Structure 1
Amino acid sequence: MKLLTTHELHYLKYKDAYFDPKNLTGNNHFFELLDVFDDLVLVARCKEIAKDPQCQRVDNDRIGFLPVNDFRGYDLFGRQVALLQCRKIVGLADRYWLRSPGSIASMVGYWLRRANVPYFSHLVGNPGEVAEYTTEHVSKPISKLIRKIIEFQFNSYMKGCYGNLSVTERWLQEIYPSAEPSNDMGASDVNLSYDIFKEHQRDFNPKVLNIVNIAALLPYKGHQFLFEALHYIRNQREWCLHLIGEGPILEKLKYLAKDLKIIDNVVFHGHLGWANGIIDILDNAHLFVLSSLTEGMPRVLLEAMARSLPVISTDVGGVNEVVSNEYLVPIKDSNCLAKKISDYWNSPLKLEKMSIENFEKIQDFRFDRLSLLRKKWLTWMRDYGDRPSERTWEQYIQIGG
């Protein structure tokens, strides 16, 4: 049986092969799907190049690739070309599981609805929030209007969706239920393998307290508010912020750090891999801070908890399903974030307590447990995806599926 899925990454084509320049979706990325389905077709944007990209190959004898126009941003003509190219997906597979929200998922969903073909979603985020927070450079009324339009479009997409496998336990499926909510289930797609977990003992009363933030350098990751919070409390003790990530606002953040007089306390590491930098920084840190304005279930936060690291986070997405309310702060509230950091970085006992709690909570995200849940849902989709209203996911579980 063949499954068609989508992704929002920009891939590369060299000769007759397809590559992932960010090394995020190589062959191993799809092993859970290929454990349930015989073959896989990936639909995504792609650009043909003349030189070997020296990165992970995506396609093989079981993974096919359907490339569409490599449009970017608000390229309306490029989007229209991609939409027309997506039309050929109808009838190409036995089941359709679309990673959403995303432009490619919306295009594929459009043609499937027109053909009355059921499809399912891998729901990973809230498109309304992302739309609002990435358009804040325009006036607030326009930003709100853009959010409403995006939410309307996504709700139309969800009307043709007959089941969600969401990355949060409750939050996303409550906001965007499918046309058949009894088929919706939450199970994080973050694969925390055994080697990631470490019950790590730390000295929570160091001379210099190391704080870590891992995120793409984008406006909706909230770095501005983290910088402002640290500016307010910069003289309370010796500290250092390790910023891991790359993106278009790097120079803007450097200027802001200088303006707020914290530039000497911030290390901009750029992009780092797990094995060649991130793991060492996490193990030598004392506090992880997530300042995002929107998230689904952030992998970096779960990885920090798996290394026994205390966590303070904005109350976004499904974070409150894994982090206690006492460690959460509202988005865009620099004062509240400053107070929360101050309360904990001056209390070794509180940090130690949080460290122990986090390591205990994160056990629910072990790969073996979540992989089993996802496999059961994917198996239901495979066996009953052509009649999802007759034999729902809930019924399937009740009879011992």
Structure 2
Amino acid sequence: MRIVVSSEQRYLRTPDGRVWSTTDAGNDFWQRYRAVFGEVRVVARVEDRPGRPGDARRVDGDSVEVYALPHYVGPWQYLRRLPRLRARLRAAAEPGDAVLLRVPSAIGTLLWRAIRRRRRTFGLEVVGDPYDVFAPGAIRHPLRPLLRRWFTRRLRAQCRSATAVAYVTERALQARYPAAPGAVTAAYSSIELAEAAFAEHPRRAAGAARIALRLVSVGSLEQPYKGVDVLIEALPALVRAGLEASLVHVGDGRCRPGLERLVRDRRLGGRVSFAGAVPPGAAVRLFLDDADLFVLPSRTEGLPRALIEAMARGLPAVATGVGGVPELLAGAHLVPPGDPAALARAIAALAADPAAMAAASARNLARARNYAAETLARRRADFYRALRVLTAPDRVEEVVSGAD
């Protein structure tokens, strides 16, 4: 049986027909659906290119097919291509296919409308929260309040109309976007960590309170919602408190020049450095292992991979209490978004208490174990089996026996 999955990824196709990714969600990502389904059809935007980029990874192959949609970037190109998108999506899911929409998503919404008109069973994987994405300070747009209400209302309607809903959080998204009574629900993250991602043991308590404090933050700088500016604004307060605090940020994007200007304006040139884009995995872990404290100052988040990866290294952390973050950290290590003073106080308090730093390290490492690949694979497979039964209840025996 085949599963059709919508995706917001933008892929590249070379003249030989192969499809490539320069970001995430390559072929290995889509193989997770094959734990239950024999074939996977990924519905995503595809742009034709004359050759393969050097850093690209293969997407299609090994029973994974990419159903190519017209490529677009941004709302204006989306509107121009909307008739073609709708026409193409009408044939994305064939009779007998299971359908799973990864939402919030413009493509997922178009496919949702198409399959609802046919009264088809479908499931959702809720991987983000538009209420937080369009929160004040997260993006700068004159229609931000209207967009926040519109997209939040739409995601609620999608969750109410699905027969199966999986969330990347344990409580946060479920409370804001409840599934319909009687729908199958599950909680599992898209994040999964290999054994190499975990530290062998928690960090030990230092003999005295830290004076030199190495902070690290990780995240894209394409949008201001990661709140790195708030962390930079908090550094002078840490210095006034007697800490020799320094910061390394891992990640790049169009907001970086503005952040570098802020560093110069606050005269923090010797304390803040930008590592730029770093390959995921071992290269990022080097920065985490070299730091004393991880800081996530985001104005909005779903369930942040960067924080979970830092926790898996036994790194104490302070973060804003947005999205699913309160499910990960203790309340004493959470602060309001956009508040440099509160962020500085939380960092200074943790750094001043070696026992608390050691306890946070042990707790974070244990909590991150919930995102081990083997644990999440079991939860996902149970949900996919339920979706398969709901899609083809007359073929339940195949699900039990593992037939494709």
SS in structure 2 at match of 1:351 = helix
Report matched runs for 1:2-401 at 5 Å: 2-15=2-15, 16-22=17-23, 24-54=24-54, 55-75=56-76, 76-91=79-94, 94-133=97-136, 136-139=139-142, 142-180=143-181, 182-198=183-199, 199-201=201-203, 204=206, 208-217=212-221, 218-235=223-240, 236-386=242-392
Question: Which shifted more, 359-368 or 370-379?
Answer: 359-368
Amino acid at match of 2:86: L
User: In structure 1, what is the Cα distance between the partners aligned to 2:8 and 2:133?
Assistant: 14
1:27 shift after superposition: 1.6
Amino acid at match of 1:196: A
Aligned-CA RMSD value: 2.2
| CA shift digits 1:92-132 (9 cap, x unpaired) | 65101111111111111111111111211111110122134
SS in structure 2 at match of 1:184 = strand
Aligned residues: 387
| Structure 2 CA distance for partners of 1:105 and 1:85, relative to 1, 3 Å | same
Q: Could you tell me the percent identity over the aligned residues?
A: 27
Amino acid at match of 1:186: A
| Structure 2 CA distance for partners of 1:232 and 1:280, relative to 1, 3 Å | same
| CA shift digits 1:329-380 (9 cap, x unpaired) | 1111111111111112233222122112212222222222221111111111
TM (norm. structure 2) is 0.90
1:206 shift after superposition: 5.8
Runs (5+) with no aligned partner, structure 2:
400-404
SS in structure 1 at match of 2:75 = coil
1:155 shift after superposition: 2.7
| CA shift digits 1:259-301 (9 cap, x unpaired) | 1222321110111123452111111111001111111111111
Runs (5+) with no aligned partner, structure 1:
397-401
User: In structure 2, what is the Cα distance between the partners aligned to 1:121 and 1:89?
Assistant: 16
User: In structure 1, what is the Cα distance between the partners aligned to 2:391 and 2:149?
Assistant: 31
1:84 shift after superposition: 3.0
SS in structure 2 at match of 1:50 = coil
| Structure 2 CA distance for partners of 1:125 and 1:249, relative to 1, 3 Å | same
